[in-house]
Structure 1
Amino acid sequence: MQFSESWLRSFCNPSLTTAQLADTLTMAGLEVEDLQPVAPPFTKIVVGEIKEAEQHPNADRLRVCKVDVGQAELLNIVCGAPNARIGIRIPCALVGAELPPGEDGKPFLIKVGKLRGVESQGMLCSARELKLAEDHGGLMELPLGAPLGQNIRDYLNLDDTLFTLKLTPNLAHCLSVFGVAREVAALTGAPLNAPTFPALAVTNQDSVRVKISAPDLCGRFSGRVVRHINTKAKTPQWMIDRLARSGQRSVTALVDISNYVMFELGRPSHIFDLDKIHGALDVRWGKAGEQLKLLNGNTVTLDEKVGVIADDVQVESLAGIMGGDATAVSDDTQNVYIEAAFWWPATIAGRSRRFNFSTDAGHRFERGVDPKQTVEHIERITQLVLDICGTPETTVGAIDDQQPNIPQPKSVQLRVARAAKVIGMPLTQAQCVDALQRLGLPLTEEEGVITVSPPSYRFDIQIEEDLIEEVVRMVGFNNLPNTPPLAPISAKVRTESSRNAFAVRRSLAALGYQETINFSFVEERWEKELAGNTDLIRLLNPIASQMNVMRSSLLGSLLQVLKFNQARRASRVRIFEVGRVFLRDASIKNSHATVESFNQPMRVAGLACGGADALQWGRKEQGVDFFDVKGDVEALLAPLKPEFKVASHPAMHPGRCAEVFVGDKSIGYVGELHPKWRQSYELVQVPILFELDLAAVMTRNLPCYETVPKLQAVQRDIAVVVGDQVTHSGLLAAIWAAPTNGLLRDARLFDVYRPKAPQGGVEVETGALDRSLAVRLTLNSDDATLTEDQIEAAVQAVVAQLLSDVNARQRV
């Protein structure tokens, strides 16, 4: 919320500087987000009037003006503005004036100079040159009553300051200048200049029949008819200035009046063109299929969940949000109907977002607007209409006030002992009573208990903690003591067999991956296609229409990051994310760390796409493949020895996907993206992905002491022919099962050979299409140097075991 300091001080003017006032508001929970001067610094600019304006003798686009600035002699000033004419009053920069800095950051000094041979003794200014507006269409024209020679800063009150407050949703009563002033009075003790609303004399008997068909939508509806007004009247400058300094541009007099009262008192209202209303008004819920053209030009389709104001022919307004175009006031309007209502906050909340826009009125009504001030605020609006748009023929009707369902606030009790415990400082009952009374909260006292009846404008006071918060705000958050914790605090010691998530992140970063952080709510499509999830966890109020479900896999988020990078011509992408996923699980019970029926495990997922290594001259570029990422997973899990088994996954290639096991436990998957998803997501290159359970990745074996071999190891290579169904893990398991008497220290596969298929009808040896696998065996003994007999015996034992377990035969 934005407003000017001078407007605030017109209601409450404490003896505080601007900075002190801002600090006081912030320490009371009304955070002052920004303080900005209304205008940048400039000097020696006064009100002037053009007395003469003649064509420049040497320039078609220049005029030589005689300007009266209240001095003995007129100033001779050359000006090129198209609106420079006799009789207007404008800002005039005298010789020696300093204008606001330009684009170079340096102030602009006014000197006596010559333009095309004619002396110029100053400069006539536009609003843009004074940095008061962006309009550069000509000179800034001032009212004819502006006093000649007066400093323009004093005349336009340019030494004012703009306050921008960042209000939390519970501070709806501060969404007006008067509401903030009420808080300032409570905080500082300065007197509050509360506005009065004298009833106007009724001079016509006209009214509009109103029916409230939905009391659960509208609790109070007030309105009156005003006839024979001049809608072409000009909004006074003081109102235009206050609106502009609240971030609202001037539109027409009637619209400005309605907006002004909203910013002043927090009351959104609406002014109908009376002659465009067909019959009576009906306040009701919308009907499916109804359409309404709004004041912003949009046409929206309504349903039963949106409140409307309709007449006998059509819908005229979106209740509590925006008026309709059909009954909008215009320059031809002569008679108006002024409406002020109380809309139940729950019936307004979220409605405007359904139509992809928001309004100041909806912002206030969905938080709560005082239901007991509708009549008084109509009186205020009417008085402004009479003052600005009134004519000798203007007549005012009686206020029709219907109150079918006004909220009845429930009293709330504050236990002084409880307040002291929650706040963390000693408090007396007198201190609590003083704080609440300063806020204008009606109360009664008993020993140790204060009972408060919340006023009609305080929708946020519902439970005891709300009153405790009010006491804290009056005390001031900066005055709360710094009390150290009384309970002992001991850090949780992580066991040696577990590493933390940061260590996992560092390990992946060392492997060349970059971390990404993504939203936990994702597109429904990702869940169905990439996770195979049909039991979706939907969001009731998503921040965007396409982010409406909670993710059960991290893969969709990584693919979106890949697509973003490839759209920007990134040729090599290696990314990972450590994050939480969300699964339905009826076995989960409520606890301090869990939510009933929902499992929320942490996972780590990665994606590699493009070159296996960064481009360099010493080797040929090669794209990343399944085995590169499989190696990264093995490095991440080390010293655990994972096992990879052929598997299927909704997001992965059916023939290039493996399930990762540690022992007998499955901890995730690794594989190439399925071809149809690559095509569907329009990816330039095929990525390799993995997703693992973070808890399993964080587990590690404790290091064990082993002596360093003192004797020379021996290596032997063997080549065996095996069937195509034999896996790497099955091969190594058979080798390690061989009875080598402890001599086998290591076994590594280093070559795979598969003969080409037969061509031209040439016969090949039976089994030649099986794979030939070459394994390097490392043998050693701690007791003595190995003999050739021992080595040969160990190798033959391995070959025999391979024949027995995987039907392998040694290749000669």
Structure 2
Amino acid sequence: MKFSEKWLRELVDIPADREALLRRLTMAGLEVEDVELLGASLDGVVVGEIVAAAPHPDADRLQVCSVEAGLDAPLQIVCGAPNARVGLKAPLATVGATLPGGIQIKKAKLRGVESFGMLCSAKELGVDSDASGLMELPAEVRAGAPLTEALGLPDAAIEIGLTPNRSDCLGMWGLARDVAAQFDSALKIEPPPAVAVDSEASRDVRLDAGADCPRYLGRIVEGIDPSAPTPLWMAERLRRAGLRPISVVVDVTNYVMLETGQPLHAFDNDRLQGAITVRRAAEGEKLTLLDGNEVALTPEFLMIADASAPLAVAGIMGGQASSVTDATRNVFLESAHFAPTAISGRARKLGLHTDASHRFERGVDPELPLQALERASALLCELAGGRAGPRLGAERLEDLPKREAVALRRARLTRVLGLQIEDAAVRRILEALQCTVEDTEDGWRALPPSHRFDIEREEDLIEEVIRIHGYEHIPTHAPSGELALKADPEERLKPLDLGRQLASRDYQEALCMAFVNAELLQDWGLGTDTVALANPLSADLAVMRPSLLPGLIEALRRNRARQQARVRLFELGNTFRAGADAPVQTMELAMVACGSAHAEQWGQAARDVDFHDIKGDVESVLALCAAPRAWSFDAEALPHWLHPGRGARVLRDGEVAGYVGVLHPRLAAALDLETDVLVAQLQLETVLPRTLPHAQPVSRYPSVRRDLAVELPETVSWGAVDACVRGALGARLAQLLVFDRYSGKGLGDGRKSLAMGLILQDASRTLTDEDADQCVADALAALERDCMARLRG
């Protein structure tokens, strides 16, 4: 909400300067976001009237103007504005003036012709953004008068950020009411009187949308002059509120909306046929809006229609076919109350955000339509010479919002705020907020006014009391009491432990959006069982992420696009899959890496990160579980996004816990990745359980080592060999080492040789040679049986 400070001060007595006002607004919950000072340095700028104009002798686009400025003789001004003409009154910066942009006005010579000042646009004066031509002033302002006097300057355009529940302050009346309560000062707002009826023009109104539109009022104003100028005071208030004056009819509806908070709309009455009906749109019904765009509607949209065609999307925007033009002589004014649920989100579905929808979807006082209609009718008749017809409309009183009294307990108020507020002060605050207050045995009962439909419960009244009383008066007390700390179980890791481990290995944590592009998931092969958002922020963020990797890869791509050749990122976060009844949420850990294996240095040769690097990083995380025998890797059943020959599944006790490897070349090409990217993904619920360490005595007896070389198929992994030997030897095997691998000459195709060392030890006795030989024989038998291995000669 943006407004003029001077306008606010005309509506309420404010016994404070600007700085105190701004601070009080923010402390009361109406946060001041921006303040634009207007006309603070316009000394030497006056109203000028062009009394003569001739073409510049040496420049086609310049004119030599004679400008009356209240001096003994007109000033000669060279001007290039396209709207400079005889009779125009515009701001004139005289010699010696300094404009807000720092421009100093001096006597100048333009193409050989002297100029004694500058005729100004609104942008050059810092009062508006319009730089298309000279700022045109009304004919009634006096030439030579200071511009600040003509424009009501200096002033300040104040912008406040409102929470959605405070839609009552989206109009100057509501804002003035709140400021009056804050300062306990007099409010200078009178309900507009009924306009005199000078015409019999009428039109039926029908309500066919139930509770979505319980009140629709209107009036026909005939015989307006569409060329009538918008008065300067109204145009300036519109500008300072961020709206540009357009025409007298549009400006009146916009002005009344800013003043009262009630959106209005004006139709060209001569282009309407039959009764006005408020109804639901038909499926596929089309309407060309005021902005020229044609929209196809569904029954979720409310429509304003006549007997032949739709006229407007209710509460959002009018249609082009019934819009007011420069030829409009007869106007139908609309002032209605729409339920917030009938408007909320509809403008966004059309790609729009209008002043009307911004107010209606938050809620507008249901009593305002009548007052706004009378105010707009009176202004239109006064400014454009119209004749007002009788008030028209229809109502469904049973569907209008109901007000109910809310109880406020004295003890509850004191307990929540931590301070005692006198009963008289509480009553004053509630009455200043225009509540009807009744004393009760334990406090008060307050009936909120119609414009404060957000007051529904006791907590709302407590908030209003302290908001007006002042948050700064709440005492500050340190909390007291004993806090019971919950002990973390030792048999379970914390996600923070995993993050610290990866940070120690040169990874950086990333936080990515939980929403992703559905088309991106198709590239990853993750497009099934996804959770789509009903109301996404954008098309690129329409689906909840089923995996952390797409977002991490996108972060990696952005880093590489910014000259970061070596990237190592990890993320801990939730992923989402569609379930039978509700989405299933799973916590995951994901890692991505590319570029050099090590940071640039002189101690070792540079090389790119490879599969074994990221596998080692994953193993360092798994080592925190203190269960080395539980973890294994294999290359079976890899997902589509992983390289089939350079990837592995991560297993815990045979159950899949995640994946590690190189991103599939096809996917890397689709994502415009020009280098190998290493990825890993782990299910945290599988990783976090930890085996508690148990102390064991060190054997007093020596170990025995036997080396063994076997020949076996290439397809048999070392993990399978390790499990086979350990299963055969049990507790006698203290350690199993692989120290050589060979394939090639002397072995058949698809065969390899593994040389391993068996460290044998017993806790109760010294193993003999016979014991060691038996262990070797048992290991060989198991390898021949389970791994198709044979002793290599």
Taking structure 1 as the reference length, the TM-score comes to: 0.85
Aligned partners of 2:5 and 2:155 also within 8 Å: yes
Residue 456 of structure 2: aligned partner: 462
Q: 1:301 to 1:96 in 2, by over 3 A?
A: same
Indicate the larger mover: 406-415 or 279-288.
406-415
Asked if 1:397 is matched to 2:401, the reply is no
Q: Quote the offset at 1:780 in angstroms.
A: 11
Instruction: Decide which of 736, 750, 772 is 2:753's aligned counterpart.
Output: 772
Residue 511 of structure 2: aligned partner: 517
Residue 619 of structure 2: aligned partner: 634
Query: Superposed, which structure 2 residues align to 1:488-637 within 5 Å?
Result: 488-489=482-483, 491-492=485-486, 494=488, 500-524=494-518, 535-545=529-539, 547-562=541-556, 573-582=567-576, 600-609=585-594, 612=597, 624-637=609-622
- Structure in which a larger fraction of residues adopt helix: 2
Instruction: Decide which of 243, 249, 255 is 1:260's aligned counterpart.
Output: 255
Residue 7 of structure 1: aligned partner: 7
Residue 104 of structure 1: aligned partner: none
Measured in 2, the distance between the counterparts of 1:23 and 1:82 equals 44
Q: Quote the offset at 1:779 in angstroms.
A: 9.4
Residue 299 of structure 2: aligned partner: 304
Q: 1:146 to 1:719 in 2, by over 3 A?
A: farther
Residue 592 of structure 1: aligned partner: none
SS of residue paired to 1:247? coil
Instruction: Decide which of 743, 746, 755 is 2:744's aligned counterpart.
Output: 755
Q: Deviations over 1:202-261 (max 9, x none)?
A: 222221111111222210111111111111222222212111111111222111111111
Query: Superposed, which structure 2 residues align to 1:30-41 within 5 Å?
Result: 30-39=30-39, 41=41
Measured in 2, the distance between the counterparts of 1:740 and 1:441 equals 83
Q: Quote the offset at 1:439 in angstroms.
A: 0.3
Residue 420 of structure 2: aligned partner: 426
Residue 351 of structure 1: aligned partner: 346
SS of residue paired to 1:288? coil
Asked if 1:144 is matched to 2:133, the reply is no
Q: Deviations over 1:69-90 (max 9, x none)?
A: 3334554545454555544333
Residue 669 of structure 1: aligned partner: 659
Q: 1:139 to 1:806 in 2, by over 3 A?
A: same
Indicate the larger mover: 328-337 or 611-620.
611-620
Measured in 2, the distance between the counterparts of 1:207 and 1:58 equals 60
Residue 714 of structure 2: aligned partner: 724
Aligned partners of 1:740 and 1:798 also within 8 Å: no
Amino acid of the structure 1 residue aligned with 2:429:
A
Q: Quote the offset at 1:155 in angstroms.
A: 2.9
Query: Superposed, which structure 2 residues align to 1:99-248 within 5 Å?
Result: 99-101=99-101, 107-115=102-110, 119-248=114-243
Residue 89 of structure 2: aligned partner: 89
Amino acid of the structure 2 residue aligned with 1:629:
I
Query: Superposed, which structure 2 residues align to 1:470-489 within 5 Å?
Result: 470-489=464-483
Aligned partners of 1:28 and 1:476 also within 8 Å: yes
Q: Quote the offset at 1:184 in angstroms.
A: 0.2
Q: Quote the offset at 1:410 in angstroms.
A: 2.6
SS of residue paired to 2:430? helix
Q: Quote the offset at 1:525 in angstroms.
A: 5.7
SS of residue paired to 1:669? strand
Measured in 2, the distance between the counterparts of 1:59 and 1:584 equals 72
Q: 1:578 to 1:370 in 2, by over 3 A?
A: same
Percent of aligned positions with the same letter in both sequences? 40
Q: 1:740 to 1:564 in 2, by over 3 A?
A: closer
Measured in 2, the distance between the counterparts of 1:68 and 1:525 equals 67
Aligned partners of 2:42 and 2:147 also within 8 Å: no
Q: Deviations over 1:412-453 (max 9, x none)?
A: 222222232233333454443222111001132211142222
Q: 1:397 to 1:113 in 2, by over 3 A?
A: closer
SS of residue paired to 2:420? coil
Tell me the matched-pair count: 782
Asked if 1:290 is matched to 2:275, the reply is no
Measured in 2, the distance between the counterparts of 1:134 and 1:521 equals 38
Q: Quote the offset at 1:43 in angstroms.
A: 3.5
Q: 1:294 to 1:121 in 2, by over 3 A?
A: closer
Q: Quote the offset at 1:182 in angstroms.
A: 0.6
Measured in 1, the distance between the counterparts of 2:252 and 2:439 equals 43
Q: 1:571 to 1:351 in 2, by over 3 A?
A: same
Instruction: Decide which of 403, 411, 431 is 1:409's aligned counterpart.
Output: 403
Q: Deviations over 1:503-554 (max 9, x none)?
A: 4334324434333222223345667885868554444433334534433432
Q: Which runs of 5+ in 1 are unaligned?
A: 102-106, 587-595, 757-763
Aligned partners of 2:426 and 2:465 also within 8 Å: yes
Q: Quote the offset at 1:389 in angstroms.
A: 1.3
Q: 1:137 to 1:353 in 2, by over 3 A?
A: closer
Measured in 1, the distance between the counterparts of 2:433 and 2:610 equals 68
Asked if 1:659 is matched to 2:636, the reply is no
Q: Quote the offset at 1:292 in angstroms.
A: 0.9
Measured in 2, the distance between the counterparts of 1:690 and 1:537 equals 23
Measured in 2, the distance between the counterparts of 1:683 and 1:604 equals 22
Measured in 2, the distance between the counterparts of 1:351 and 1:55 equals 53
Measured in 1, the distance between the counterparts of 2:362 and 2:708 equals 79
Indicate the larger mover: 425-434 or 329-338.
425-434
Q: 1:274 to 1:87 in 2, by over 3 A?
A: closer
Q: 1:208 to 1:57 in 2, by over 3 A?
A: closer
Q: 1:713 to 1:56 in 2, by over 3 A?
A: farther
Instruction: Decide which of 312, 325, 333 is 1:330's aligned counterpart.
Output: 325
Q: Quote the offset at 1:739 in angstroms.
A: 6.5
Q: Which runs of 5+ in 2 are unaligned?
A: none
Aligned partners of 1:310 and 1:316 also within 8 Å: yes
Indicate the larger mover: 339-348 or 688-697.
688-697
Q: 1:682 to 1:114 in 2, by over 3 A?
A: closer
Aligned partners of 2:733 and 2:758 also within 8 Å: no
Indicate the larger mover: 369-378 or 80-89.
80-89
Q: 1:84 to 1:432 in 2, by over 3 A?
A: closer
Indicate the larger mover: 342-351 or 90-99.
90-99
Q: 1:304 to 1:668 in 2, by over 3 A?
A: same
Q: Quote the offset at 1:172 in angstroms.
A: 1.2
Residue 386 of structure 1: aligned partner: 381
Residue 19 of structure 1: aligned partner: 19
Instruction: Decide which of 426, 429, 432 is 1:438's aligned counterpart.
Output: 432
Measured in 1, the distance between the counterparts of 2:61 and 2:143 equals 27
Residue 315 of structure 1: aligned partner: 310
SS of residue paired to 2:754? strand
Residue 806 of structure 1: aligned partner: 783
Measured in 1, the distance between the counterparts of 2:295 and 2:560 equals 38
Aligned partners of 1:566 and 1:684 also within 8 Å: no
Q: Quote the offset at 1:381 in angstroms.
A: 0.6
Aligned partners of 1:227 and 1:396 also within 8 Å: yes
SS of residue paired to 1:143? coil
Q: 1:229 to 1:531 in 2, by over 3 A?
A: same
Q: Deviations over 1:280-319 (max 9, x none)?
A: 1221111112111111111111122111111121111111
